[in-house]
Structure 1
Amino acid sequence: MTADRGTEAAFVLVPEAHTGDWVWEQVAAVLRRAGARVFCAASAGAGSAPTADLETHIAEVIRQVEEAGERVVLVGHGYGLLPALGAADRRRDRVVRVVHLDAAGLPEDGDSALDVLPALPRPAGGRAEVPPPAREEWHRLGSTDGLTPAALDQLAARALPQPAATLTQPLRLSESAARIPRTGVLCPAGGSTIDRLRWTASLGDPRLSLLTAPGNTFLEVPTGHWPMLSEPDLLAKALRQAAAGEGESLALPPDQVPAHLRPFVLDVPDRPRERRERVDLYPPDGHEPRPAVVFVHGGPLPSGIRPTPRDWPTFTGYAALAARLGAVGVTLDHRLHTPADLPRAADDVSAAVDLVRAHPRVDGDRVALWFFSGGGPLSAPWLSAPPPWLRCLALNYPLLEPIPGHGTDGDRFRPVAAVRGAVDLPVVLTRVGLEDPMLDATVERFLGAAGECGAEVEVIAAPHCRHGFETLDPTSEARAVVREAMERVLGKLDA
């Protein structure tokens, strides 16, 4: 299919949960001034019985599609993506493109909204409706970055209960749904960027192949989850670009090695390893028990990726380096596939630590835990109540607060709050200068909290390095940073 001749297509805009057609007023006005025809689907809660389900909402969107004409671009915001996809699949002759507006996950046949959108509130006690968030809770659906107090007041005042069955009823899609052209409009303040999504698509999970299919494109609007309220002009521009098939592809060139599979920044000779369950141990030379460094990868990562993280060059490189320097290097695979999996992944890390400490080659009283990237929240339980054998906790370019809208409220996995318990635990933090601003802001808050409580945090600055620099930046600075971080961590183990 050629470009969508977007100026000739009408827009049908489908709102997020608890909102309604009113949320699109500013964007619709901008689009109409540019000559577009715009139709706004009502919320599933507007004028519907509490027993309305996802099919009820799909029928409302189909009605708007049929009114809009023969060429339609369907825009689904958050939860609204599910009824948009359902309608597009059943009116394939009219819908020329579906726009995923800051919508996490890729709904497939049989998925419910709650399966793919962990931020949505769960129906309680068999109730037919889910009440809308209170004013101070809207961040749980997604980042409120960019919203004025007046806009937040409007969200709270005009919010509607959401029929529970719209969130629990499975979406039904035919096989042809995957062939509908898509454009993702991402909102970086909520953690979604083109670079991050491109990296995710490069991981090798066949379920993500749709992201890189020809004709599918991606754009960014620099704001939070509510661009129709915070940046209506920029969103309108992005929607017109999407309708025309513009945007970036996520597909890597055929000859380009994915970033996470490029060589480790240091030339570390391979070492023998011992594989036990989800854990690999790289013992040093000799036979006496030695301290151990456990490297905890980031996430969330799709469950089907191959190779798994314990075989990625970053982690095999760090583990082999630790072993060459006299410690037992440890890599592991944990099951952080969605934000809701944090408790299970934390259990995986604890089980790996127990296995390692019981190993005859390990001095169980001298262990360091080293967390990377999106694995940062898994450090919180260790920070809040460090056991005596934990001699050091290290963090590389970490996420240190849950991302808004990812369904991870509370302090259990919030290192910014947990650091209060780590006053006597040495922490080594590698901070990259070319970091995603959203991630770096969590590091800044962590350092502020550590300073307030007197926790010991040693920061290794890497001003010219990127997130994942161990395979992305083969520079003298990156090599020096890896060596310094390892020296500091091993120094804590030998203290």
Structure 2
Amino acid sequence: MTTNASTPTTILIAGHWLGAWAWDEVREHLERNDASAPTRVHAMTLPGLDRDDPSRASKTLDDQAIAIVDVLDSLGVTAVKPATVVAHSGANAPVSLVLDRHPELVGRVVWVDSGPVATGSVFAPEIGEELTELPLPPFEELAQQASLDGLSDAVLDRFRARAVPEPGPVLRQPVELSNDARRGVPTTLVCCSISSAQVLELAQAGHPMFAEIAHLEHLEVVDLPTGHWPMWSRPVDLARVIRRALSPAV
């Protein structure tokens, strides 16, 4: 694929335990661009999820948000040339911070079985300071929290082999938001393990996990029925959804 300075940029950010590798299949399909809809695709690994980083367990949500902005800057993203940011699952906390601090850098945010968090949100308020990191739990336990539908044994084996424990500070840090401009960023919700009808109903009811959705000013919802990791269970379809969501303004 040939790109130039005017080619729109798409950033892919996976959730807990995952790095840039989680997007390999989706990125491959996104990079098969036709001339009418080119995009430069960059998948990133958040601080704390690089297996080779000896200080990874000390990383915070602030570290992750700063790293996202640094990547945007390195790719030439500006208010004039904003990016599309695709955030899966637990990447919602650092991406929500980026939207709060630099909404002008994001032309569209695509939440993949995820969504924006409200100020004061903490992923795991019950865990104590003694927990330095949280390894990927047994799949029987994980399945009680998130759907594994569509994942083969081979995919689960790869997930287990490549997963990196989530830093404790990331799980404990409250998300502090103050800029309502974040709600004006065009938003696409890709609903996988929970249908869009259910998500919108929960948002209107003020459910803590979904309440922020009710405040979004430019929202589209897309149903992609599968489990919580559609980048593995339906990578071609997810790539198509992301491509359709790409904002003409970015």
TM range (shorter): 0.7 to 0.9
Contact 1:75 1:84 in 2 (8 A): no
Structure 2: gaps (5+ residues): 1-5
* Matched residues, number: 229
Q: In the alignment, residue 63 of structure 1 is paired with which amino acid?
A: D
Cα distance change of structure 1 residues 9 and 231 upon mapping to structure 2, 3 Å threshold: same
After TM superposition, give the deviation of residue 141 of structure 1 in Å: 4.5
- The residue matched to 1:225 in structure 2 has which SS? coil
Q: Encode CA deviations 1:311-368: one digit per residue, 9 max, x unaligned.
A: xxxxxxxxxxxxxxxxxxxxxxxxxxxxxxxxxxxxxxxxxxxxxxxxxxxxxxxxxx
In the TM superposition, 1:20-99 aligns within 5 A as 20-34=19-33, 35-43=38-46, 44-46=48-50, 47=53, 48-68=55-75, 69=77, 70-99=81-110
After TM superposition, give the deviation of residue 204 of structure 1 in Å: 7.5
TM-score, structure 1 normalization: 0.43
Would you say 1:10 and 2:13 are equivalent positions? no
- The residue matched to 2:42 in structure 1 has which SS? strand
Q: In the alignment, residue 240 of structure 1 is paired with which amino acid?
A: R
After TM superposition, give the deviation of residue 165 of structure 1 in Å: 0.5
- The residue matched to 1:113 in structure 2 has which SS? coil
What does residue 100 of structure 1 align with?
A: 111
Cα distance change of structure 1 residues 201 and 138 upon mapping to structure 2, 3 Å threshold: closer
Output the CA distance in 2 between the equivalents of 1:140 and 1:87.
30
In the TM superposition, 1:205-244 aligns within 5 A as 208=211, 210-211=213-214, 213-244=216-247
After TM superposition, give the deviation of residue 216 of structure 1 in Å: 0.9
Output the CA distance in 2 between the equivalents of 1:204 and 1:171.
18
Q: In the alignment, residue 77 of structure 1 is paired with which amino acid?
A: H
Contact 2:112 2:191 in 1 (8 A): yes
Output the CA distance in 1 between the equivalents of 2:140 and 2:206.
39
Output the CA distance in 1 between the equivalents of 2:62 and 2:215.
29
Q: Which residue, 186, 191, 203 being the options, matches 1:186?
A: 191
Cα distance change of structure 1 residues 178 and 33 upon mapping to structure 2, 3 Å threshold: same
Output the CA distance in 2 between the equivalents of 1:79 and 1:113.
8
In the TM superposition, 1:336-485 aligns within 5 A as none
Contact 1:133 1:156 in 2 (8 A): no
After TM superposition, give the deviation of residue 24 of structure 1 in Å: 0.6
What does residue 114 of structure 1 align with?
A: 124
Larger Rg: 1
After TM superposition, give the deviation of residue 61 of structure 1 in Å: 1.3
Cα distance change of structure 1 residues 33 and 112 upon mapping to structure 2, 3 Å threshold: same
Q: In the alignment, residue 182 of structure 1 is paired with which amino acid?
A: T
Structure 1: gaps (5+ residues): 1-6, 116-121, 246-495
Cα distance change of structure 1 residues 208 and 162 upon mapping to structure 2, 3 Å threshold: closer
Output the CA distance in 1 between the equivalents of 2:82 and 2:160.
34
CA root-mean-square deviation: 2.6
Q: Runs of 4+ in structure 1 displaced over 6 angstroms? A: none
Contact 1:123 1:129 in 2 (8 A): no
What does residue 198 of structure 1 align with?
A: 200
- The residue matched to 1:217 in structure 2 has which SS? strand
More divergent stretch after superposition (42-51 vs 231-240): 42-51
Q: In the alignment, residue 162 of structure 2 is paired with which amino acid?
A: R
- The residue matched to 2:201 in structure 1 has which SS? helix
Output the CA distance in 1 between the equivalents of 2:204 and 2:131.
41
TM-score, structure 2 normalization: 0.81
Cα distance change of structure 1 residues 128 and 143 upon mapping to structure 2, 3 Å threshold: same
Would you say 1:177 and 2:182 are equivalent positions? yes
Contact 1:41 1:60 in 2 (8 A): no
What does residue 156 of structure 1 align with?
A: 160
After TM superposition, give the deviation of residue 244 of structure 1 in Å: 3.3
Contact 2:8 2:40 in 1 (8 A): yes
- The residue matched to 1:33 in structure 2 has which SS? coil
Q: Encode CA deviations 1:184-235: one digit per residue, 9 max, x unaligned.
A: 1110xx2x11222333345488x94743644211111121101001111110
Cα distance change of structure 1 residues 156 and 209 upon mapping to structure 2, 3 Å threshold: closer
Contact 2:185 2:218 in 1 (8 A): no
Q: In the alignment, residue 134 of structure 1 is paired with which amino acid?
A: P
Output the CA distance in 1 between the equivalents of 2:102 and 2:178.
12
* Identical pairs, percent: 28
After TM superposition, give the deviation of residue 134 of structure 1 in Å: 2.9
What does residue 136 of structure 2 align with?
A: 132
Q: Encode CA deviations 1:379-403: one digit per residue, 9 max, x unaligned.
A: xxxxxxxxxxxxxxxxxxxxxxxxx
- The residue matched to 2:97 in structure 1 has which SS? helix
